[in-house]
């Protein structure tokens, strides 16, 4: 049986341990919610002060050129590209995940409409993150397409037929933490004549992603989870070079124009991924996101995403082992796959009752996870800053909450706006 001392020994032997020093972690907290909002990098406040006081306050409009503001979406995009198996110049940071999904799904549908007009289905999972489904539903209404949702991932293969235009999936399920095999599903989709749209919200910065290797078609992702970009950080969009110039994306804003500063009345899309830009880049948010992305790139000398993945799996494996051993008999059911090839960087548990209140009681004890309706308790394990001893201590708090029945107190059962 693993002991707390053993966990401390694992931390002492952890080559990635120094990466934790990059973060301003709140005292007295074990933060297992980096899958919702990543923590603050220590360098971010000073960098933001520099952008605000010097680049904006002192240099004003000259910073568009002098400080490289105008190419910030590409500069930060090239950094993220290194984390997701994309080439330089293939990925930009812009807008929200939802808006980017609107662009790429529009492009995928337009390509299929031109080449295979009888393909009118967007296939996804009913459990996909709602914004993905809402955007697909909106585009389906608009394009006369049909959104087909499966309840079980095993049913996806059967939907890859001559009616399928696009397979749209989130690589790691936000609720269960289940990981899709991007390469295999993309191959199956292509074999069936469909295009793929991947949402990397819970995979970019969490595990190795290889968009080029998987031969994916389109991808979007989130800046504020594992990339530590701050609340509501801008998102990113990638399009395979074979598709990128085949379509005007519908949000044809001036920054995606071939020559924005010519101020010409007719739209002419920029070459490459720059046409997926829309409005004036959000400089403060981009600067904060760059700091966050740099905290992940800092793992490169230590083995990069592969090393982070190994630690992530060691953390989630330990958490499952300890919960099952130390919280046995309390009705917790593992939602996340036990098979590590199918697991993202989070572990979720289901309980017949009290899931919300148990998470609240844990937060009151300084162990921050979150709850997702109807019954899922989620715990994210960000390998950049989570220690093995944190896992031990979190499980000990969970054990005490369950054994004491403390979670039944009224104050832990009051729902707030954001859960």
| 370 DSSP β-pair partners | 378
**Does the protein bind a second copy through residue 366 (CB under 8 A)?**
no
Strands 164-170, 195-199: parallel, antiparallel or unpaired by DSSP?
parallel
* Angle at 352 (CA atoms; ends 350, 357), nearest 5 degrees: 80
Query: Is there a contact between 287 and 63 (Cβ–Cβ < 8 Å)?
Result: no
Stretch that binds a second copy, among 76-84, 228-236, 320-328, 382-390 (CB under 8 A): 228-236
Q: Cβ closer to a second copy: 213 or 231?
A: 231
User: What is the C-alpha separation between 226 and 204, in angstroms, rounded?
Assistant: 7
**Does the protein bind a second copy through residue 262 (CB under 8 A)?**
yes
Residues in 269-288 that interact with a second copy by CB under 8 A: 278-286, 288
Q: How far is CA 167 from the centre of its chain?
A: 18
Q: Within 192-298, where are the H helices?
A: 211-214, 241-244, 283-297
H/E stretch holding 372: strand 370-372
Strands 370-372, 30-31: parallel, antiparallel or unpaired by DSSP?
unpaired
Phi, psi at residue 25, to the nearest 5°?
Answer: -85, 135
**Does the protein bind a second copy through residue 114 (CB under 8 A)?**
no
Candidate residues 6, 12, 18, 45; the one interacting with a second copy per rule CB under 8 A: 45
User: What is the C-alpha separation between 72 and 286, in angstroms, rounded?
Assistant: 7
Candidate residues 16, 99, 148, 239; the one interacting with a second copy per rule CB under 8 A: 99
Q: Cβ closer to a second copy: 158 or 418?
A: 418
User: What is the C-alpha separation between 34 and 12, in angstroms, rounded?
Assistant: 22
Candidate residues 150, 157, 252, 334; the one interacting with a second copy per rule CB under 8 A: 252
Using CB under 8 A as the binding criterion, the count of chain residues that bind a second copy stands at: 92
By annotation, the residues acting in catalysis are 129, 199, 224-225, 378
Residue span 131-170 as binding mask against a second copy, x where in contact by CB under 8 A, dash where not: x-xxx-xxx-xx------x---------------------
Query: Is there a contact between 303 and 383 (Cβ–Cβ < 8 Å)?
Result: no
Stretch that binds a second copy, among 36-44, 180-188, 307-315, 386-394 (CB under 8 A): 36-44
Q: Cβ closer to a second copy: 28 or 301?
A: 28
Min CB(9)–a second copy separation in Å: 29
Candidate residues 373, 403, 404, 405; the one interacting with a second copy per rule CB under 8 A: 373
Min CB(269)–a second copy separation in Å: 9
3-state secondary structure of 38: coil
Phi, psi at residue 185, to the nearest 5°?
Answer: -70, -35
**Does the protein bind a second copy through residue 221 (CB under 8 A)?**
no
Stretch that binds a second copy, among 53-61, 156-164, 343-351, 398-406 (CB under 8 A): 53-61
Min CB(46)–a second copy separation in Å: 10
Min CB(15)–a second copy separation in Å: 26
What are the strands, taking DSSP E only, across 106-189? 121-125, 146-150, 164-170
User: What is the C-alpha separation between 397 and 414, in angstroms, rounded?
Assistant: 20
Residues in 399-418 that interact with a second copy by CB under 8 A: 416-418
């Amino acid at each position: 049986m693993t002991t707390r001392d053993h966990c401390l020994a694992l931390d002492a032997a952890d080559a990635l341990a120094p990466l934790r020093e990059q973060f301003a972690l709140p005292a007295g907290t074990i933060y297992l919610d980096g899958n919702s909002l990543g923590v603050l990098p220590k360098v971010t406040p000073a960098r933001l002060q520099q952008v605000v006081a010097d680049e904006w306050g002192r240099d004003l409009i000259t910073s568009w050129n002098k400080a490289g503001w105008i190419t910030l979406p590409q500069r930060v995009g090239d950094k993220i590209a290194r984390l997701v198996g994309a080439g330089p110049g293939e990925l930009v940071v812009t807008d929200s995940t939802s808006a980017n999904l609107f662009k790429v799904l529009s492009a995928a549908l337009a390509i299929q409409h031109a080449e295979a007009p009888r393909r009118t289905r967007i296939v996804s999972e009913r459990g996909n993150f709602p914004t993905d489904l809402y955007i697909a539903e909106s585009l389906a209404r608009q394009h006369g397409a049909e959104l087909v949702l499966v309840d079980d991932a095993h049913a996806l293969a059967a939907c890859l037929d001559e009616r399928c235009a696009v397979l749209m999936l989130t690589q790691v399920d936000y609720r269960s933490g289940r990981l899709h095999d991007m390469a295999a599903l993309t191959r199956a989709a292509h074999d069936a004549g469909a295009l793929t749209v991947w949402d990397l919200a819970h995979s970019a910065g969490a595990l190795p992603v290889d968009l080029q290797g998987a031969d994916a078609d389109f991808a979007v992702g989130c800046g504020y989870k594992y990339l530590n970009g701050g609340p509501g950080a801008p998102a990113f969009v990638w399009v395979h070079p074979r598709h990128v110039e085949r379509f005007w994306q519908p949000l044809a804003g001036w920054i995606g124009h071939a020559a924005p500063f010519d101020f010409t009345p007719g739209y002419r899309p920029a070459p490459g991924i720059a046409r997926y830009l829309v409005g004036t880049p959000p400089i403060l948010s981009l600067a904060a996101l760059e700091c966050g992305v740099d905290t992940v790139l800092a793992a490169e000398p230590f083995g990069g995403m592969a090393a982070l993945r190994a630690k992530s799996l060691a953390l989630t494996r330990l958490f499952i082992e300890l919960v099952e051993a130390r919280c046995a008999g309390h009705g917790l059911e593992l939602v996340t796959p036990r098979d590590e090839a199918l697991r993202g960087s989070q572990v979720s548990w289901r309980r017949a009752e009290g899931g919300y209140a148990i998470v609240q009681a844990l937060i009151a004890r300084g162990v921050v996870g979150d709850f997702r309706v109807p019954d899922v308790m989620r715990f994210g394990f960000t390998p950049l800053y989570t220690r093995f001893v944190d896992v031990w201590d979190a499980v000990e708090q969970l054990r005490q909450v369950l054994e004491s029945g403390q979670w039944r107190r009224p104050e832990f059962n009051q729902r707030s706006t954001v859960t």
